[in-house]
Amino acid sequence: DAMVIQNPRYQVTQFGKPVTLSCSQTLNHNVMYWYQQKSSQAPKLLFHYYDKDFNNEADTPDNFQSRRPNTSFCFLDIRSPGLGDAAMYLCATSRDGRGVQQPQHFGDGTRLSIL
């Protein structure tokens, strides 16, 4: 089945130690998104890629970076995680509807804990 896969499901890192979260997709969608979701809160968009074009949200901290080496893979790098970065990180994809919004397909997320 075509899907969005996030690895790992759970990640523990130390305060200030860089961490990378991974996302892969078999849907061949050209748009990929990264969201941060804290408990009982709305998913908050960090950035998205339209093909190789990177689109950062204005309020996304510089501590968060992303890479998309090819259509299938996208990475979220947190350069110096702080305690406030503990959250669920969700990857999503959609196909480009050429101005017509399309549904987003989510992975099951990576739960990040900071020690």
Partner 1 sequence: SQKIEQNSEALNIQEGKTATLTCNYTNYSPAYLQWYRQDPGRGPVFLLLIRENEKEKRKERLKVTFDTTLKQSLFHITASQPADSATYLCALGGTGRRALTFGSGTRLQVQP
Q: Which of 19, 21, 31, 87 binds partner 1 (CB under 8 A)?
A: 31
Site residues (CB under 8 A) for partner 1, limited to 40-79: 40-45, 48, 50, 55, 57
Per-residue DSSP letter, 100: S
63 near 80, Cβ under 8 Å? yes
Give CA–CA dist 16/105, Å, rounded.
Answer: 31
CA atoms of 91 and 75, how far apart (whole Å):
9
Whose Cβ is closer to partner 1: residue 48's or residue 68's? 48
CA distance 69 to 80: 22
Contact string (CB under 8 A) for partner 1, positions 93-112, x = contact: -x-x--x-x-xxxxxxx-x-
State whether residue 84 is helix, strand or coil. helix
90 lies in the site for partner 1, by CB under 8 A? yes
In the complex, which residues of this chain contact partner 1 (CB under 8 A)?
Answer: 4, 31, 33, 35, 40-45, 48, 50, 55, 57, 90, 92, 94, 96, 99, 101, 103-109, 111
